[in-house]
Chain A
């Protein structure tokens, strides 16, 4: 008994090719607003979005090219910028796969089995979303820093974590921790366990079942999660800032490099580097929209944040 099959189409029994084009809400004067009210609301929303979404984006590129293309290219080819890019790439290359494995494991355990404390576990996985990035950085300083729990031991063995690359990677993992698991859990929950049960009953091993049955079902959701996770891994600033130590050419990621340039009043260079990250954000959005448009049904359960 679903109420939804009646929702936006009417009359409910029209043959398919003849369905009226717009949703009922727009055709039916009984349940929509007057024309001028509609346009006022649309205009307000669009102006709001222009000011808060489009203008900042446009500003990034405008400022980046303010002093011409050559300045732009020089800023990107500068050695510090290149090493920052390398570090950012390395960080993402470690953080995203680790969180991918974790996301799949967590989603498998949570959606394919019943156990007590499941909702607590889900809340804990979400936890990093509600922790300030600065606090995320701080906790690693408290554990691995000179005065931290493991500080003396690390010093003794000459292992550097905080103010070095491992700290940056750890902080990045922390802030991108929930992305993939969050995308997969609702998706796999909606898909249930019937397919897996069938595969197992036919004699497939657990690994084979995952590879042949589960993965094809979740691949788009997985990709979606990876996209979001990756975007955040590239762009994380607060957490990384706390644990990096800001050593040029050594522990600087792209976002940190932007800050340094900006504070040195090298605005054009700062925006040039920023435009790189903004482009990545645009690619992410485009890919995300494409996935939603093309595989919307398969993503439906997990699509919204």
Chain B
């Protein structure tokens, strides 16, 4: 089922939870709503579910307007952060619930069969008779998922589905959810504040802030070309270097670095955003951004160098794979020339994207961004 969100607004008193949100979701997609606390992502999910009604705008399932349809008639599978399992019911009864309360209730045998199937699907076969209190967190979340799938939902909505789980279980469940989605093909929207989770799991991510969509796109596109400083910052560690733009060119002391996609921006001060992993040491004698080493620290396979940039108050952090470098060369006080492999440039005042550099050294970039999809 394709879902269309049109111009949705939602206020809580004076707080704008959703501010003219538009979103189109294709059938069978797995979409992540990503954003910090208070960004409106959960509210958007709840508006789509019908647990919350928007003040304005349309929610279309296919081409049917759902704005006035109550949640019980929307046929959405909703999975809550804290599972919301019925404590006094067994796993089987929990999963069967949605079938038992239907107006055209199937036969008891059909219900049991369907529920058992789903319990098998979420790999909990044999635990049908258990009560939620007898299950682990991960198992509970899988019961919640099976329960939501039992009503053949048009769309599956998950509110921070892994938020209450510990790190290890979370990682396992993520992969498992991706597989399950590929198996069932149900359009799925999930809310998370964890950018790693969103990037790993989703086809496309919606990055939200203050009730608005900041950027929407395929995970690679969003990561490689963040639309504004907020998105760049939200997706990972960030270095910010104040620079000056002249004739569409930034002087980084490494031969003037031309910006790949100049948007015809005016000359003047700008902010350069670069991730610590996208910085390399310039070869001996080669040009590069001149800095002074402040601190060197090794954590496992990564060497982290804090270096002072000439003319800037904030130091720049560089992360290098340990294998490639002899750390003894970087003593505090030593001069270091840096090459920025990939960066984005934003206007200082409006935050508009002025341009981005494409990685010159594709191999180096790939190594620094291991993605486990």
Contacts and interface: CB of A to CB of B under 8 A. Distances in A.
A29 B53 contact: yes
Chief secondary structure at chain A's binding surface: loop
B249 to A, nearest CB: 42
Contacts of A29: 53, 70
Given A13-B38, A15-B15, A20-B13, A30 B71 contact: yes
Contacts of B52: 10, 28
Contacts of A14: 12, 15, 17, 38
B334 interface: no
B38 A21 contact: no
B137 interface: yes
Residue of B14, B17, B80 with most partner-chain A CB within 10 A = B17
Interface residues of B, number: 25
A6 B82 contact: yes
A1 B164 contact: yes
B37 interface: yes
Interface string A1-31: 1010010001111110111110000001110
B51 interface: yes
B51 A18 contact: no
Interface in B71-117: 71-72, 80-83
B162 to A, nearest CB: 12
A13 B37 contact: yes
Contacts of A19: 12
Interface stretch (B42-50, B225-233, B274-282): B42-50
Residue of A1, A11, A18 with most partner-chain B CB within 10 A = A11
Given A14-B15, A21-B13, A3 B43 contact: no
A12 B82 CA distance: 12
A14 B164 CA distance: 18
Nearest to B53: A29
Nearest to A31: B51
Contacts of B72: 30
Nearest to A17: B15
B191 to A, nearest CB: 10
Contacts of B81: 6, 12
Contacts of A1: 82, 137, 164
B12 A18 contact: yes
Contact of B17 (A11, A17, A28, A30): A11
Interface in B49-73: 50-53, 70-72
A141 B167 CA distance: 68
A14 to B, nearest CB: 6
B309 to A, nearest CB: 35
B82 A3 contact: yes
Nearest to B165: A1
A32 to B, nearest CB: 12
A84 B39 CA distance: 68
Contacts of A3: 82-83
A21 B13 CA distance: 8
Given A6-B82, A10-B46, A14-B38, A30 B13 contact: no
Contacts of A18: 12-15
A17 B13 CA distance: 10
B80 A30 contact: no
A30 B50 contact: yes
Contacts of B12: 14, 18-20
29 contacts: A1-B82, A1-B164, A3-B82, A3-B83, A6-B81, A10-B42, A10-B46, A10-B52, A11-B17, A11-B40, A11-B42, A11-B46, A12-B42, A12-B81, A13-B37, A13-B38, A13-B42, A14-B17, A14-B38, A15-B15, A17-B15, A18-B13, A19-B12, A20-B12, A28-B51, A28-B52, A29-B70, A30-B71, A30-B72
Interface of B: 12-15, 17, 37-40, 42-43, 46, 50-53, 70-72, 80-83, 137, 164
Given A13-B38, A20-B12, 14 more contacts: A1-B82, A3-B82, A6-B82, A11-B40, A11-B42, A11-B43, A12-B81, A14-B17, A15-B15, A17-B15, A18-B14, A20-B13, A28-B51, A30-B72
Q: Which 6 A-B pairs have the closest CB atoms?
A: A18-B15, A13-B37, A11-B42, A20-B12, A30-B71, A3-B82
